[in-house]
Amino acid sequence: MPIRHLVLLKFKADTAFAQVQATEAAFAALASKISAVQSLEWGTNNSPEGLAKGFTHCFNLTFADEAARATYLPHPDHLAFVEQLKPTLDDVLVLDYTL
């Protein structure tokens, strides 16, 4: 069964706009680097409800099944991205669900 992997990002207040843009591009590029990713879409928060708690970015990845997700999580390109993200990251929330 397909799995959705939602990643919400909250950047540190002093993160430069260029760093945020670089993170967006690097995260989006994972779809072309890791074949286990069926699809990846992302966007920035535009909710008028004011409940985002400082999270500004949402990335939604789809995997065919648990095996594909298990390939993605320890993949060297994913791990390299996480290391690139860490210096600018204030908080992250990850939720997975099965379709």
Q: Which two tokens stand for residue 34?
A: 């890791």
CATH number for position 49:
3.30.70.100
- Structural domain range at position 75: 3-98
Q: Quote the radius of gyration of the chain (alpha carbons, Å).
A: 14
Q: What pTM was estimated for this model as a whole?
A: 0.94
- CA 12-30-59 angle, to 5 degrees, is 50
The answer to whether residue 89 scores a pLDDT higher than 90 is: yes
Each residue of 12-31: pLDDT tens digit?
999 999 999 999 999 999 99
- Structurally, the chain folds into a number of domains equal to 1
